[in-house]
Amino acid sequence: MTSTSADGEVVGVHGVSVMRSGNLLLDGIDWRVGAGERWVLLGPNGSGKTTLVSVAATYLWPSRGSVSVLGRALGTVDVRELRRHIGIVSASLEARVPPGLTALDVVVAGATGATAPWWDRPDRATKDRAAEMLDLVGCAALRDRRFELLSSGERQRVQIARALILGPALLLLDEPAAGLDLGGREQLAVLLARLNAQPDLAATVVVTHHVEEIAPGTTHALILRSGRVVAAGPVAETVTSAVLTLAFGLPLHVTRVGDRFAAQATGSAR
Ligand SMILES: Nc1ncnc2c1ncn2[C@@H]1O[C@H](COP(=O)(O)OP(=O)(O)OP(=O)(O)O)[C@@H](O)[C@H]1O
Ligand SMILES: [Mg+2]
């Protein structure tokens, strides 16, 4: 399987709307993620970020529009095969990890796309690969610790190791920095910057609420509000005071120092 379509498209979302229980969660979204691009997805609570990531992850079917992932049009392919090439980190996945598993178990389970390695005893190669992934995210020492007892930051890293075990072409991280302290956030930014530099990853998409969490190496940004695209494009042109002021509904001033961003409110909220 090729990791992208002939024109280098990793994710293609065309005119996508998602309607659930009478609510329009996404409203006519167009979004193209090209090979080599590293995206950040920003927007207020409820703007549709998780919904859009679920569409790209092939877990949510749009009510209107078309979606292609890794060169395959959804609706015409076996999504189970496609999902082997998509690594996902999300709070809902973490919540499905049953208690009692070690960090290594959680990573091993990623080799089959499950949340627990119930079905059989993993072979040596899978365990070795899982240990390698834990090492990659700086968690080698945690391999035999129980996942549910790890700190939020440690759990996020273990989840990233899990998402990487099959060598995905597309990596989708939904709020990987949620609940992390300043040190954890900065360590995660370093890890994401390293992943951003990995040529094997055709594309990455990271959802966040905070511009401070945008990792070095991020190339593009998509800003959502109320299920619609406010702006999309190269990160420097998209993560701006004007765009974020529009998206978050209060006057915001965005600054950029090197390859990192910061934002502050400049007046009272409307
Ligand atoms: N199954 C559903 N039925 C109806 N509404 C839903 C459903 N799932 C999500 N929503 C609504 O869709 C909107 C978008 O949700 P989504 O989780 O995509 O937002 P988000 O941008 O990820 O928000 P957050 O930043 O809080 O994670 C929200 O208003 C949410 O309440
Ligand atoms: Mg969300």
Q: What is the pLDDT of residue 75?
A: 87
* pLDDT means over runs of 10, the chain (270 residues): 68 97 96 98 97 96 96 90 93 90 94 68 89 94 96 93 95 92 90 94 96 96 98 97 96 94 78
* Contact present, 181 and 214 (Cβ < 8 Å): no
Nearest CA to ligand 1 atom 30: 46
> For a substitution probing ligand 1, which of 25, 47, 173 has the most ligand atoms within 8 Å of its CB?
25
Q: How far is the CA of 47 from the centre of ligand 2 (A)?
A: 8
What is the best residue among 20, 23, 228 to mutate for testing ligand 1's pocket, by most ligand atoms within 8 Å of CB? Answer: 23
Q: What is the pLDDT of residue 180?
A: 87
Helix H or strand E segment including 207 = strand 203-208
The model's pTM is 0.94
Number of the ligand closest to the Cα of 52: 1
Q: Ligand 1 atom 17: the closest Cα is on which residue?
A: 50
pLDDT of residue 269: 47
CA torsion sign, 109 to 115 to 118 to 119? negative
- 221 contacts 39 by C-beta, under 8 angstroms: yes
Phi-psi region of 237 (alpha: psi -120 to 50; beta: other; left: phi over 0): alpha
Instruction: Express each pLDDT in 124-134 by its tens digit.
Output: 899 999 999 99
Which residues surround ligand 1 with Cβ inside 6 Å?
20-21, 23, 25, 43, 45-51
CA 63 to ligand 1 center in whole angstroms: 15
How far, in Å, is the centroid of ligand 1 from the Cα of 51?
Answer: 7
Closest Cα partner for 1 from 87, 54, 78?
A: 78
Q: What pLDDT, on the 0 to 100 scale, is given for residue 115?
A: 64
Please name the residue whose Cα sits nearest to atom 27 of ligand 1.
Answer: 45
Ligand that comes closest to the CA of residue 228: 1
CA 45 to ligand 1 centroid distance, Å? 8
DSSP 8-class letter at 148:
G
pLDDT at 112: 80
- Inter-axis angle of helices 152-164 and 124-136, to 10 degrees? 130
The pLDDT score that the predictor gives to residue 270 is 47
- The reported pLDDT for the residue numbered 3 is 54
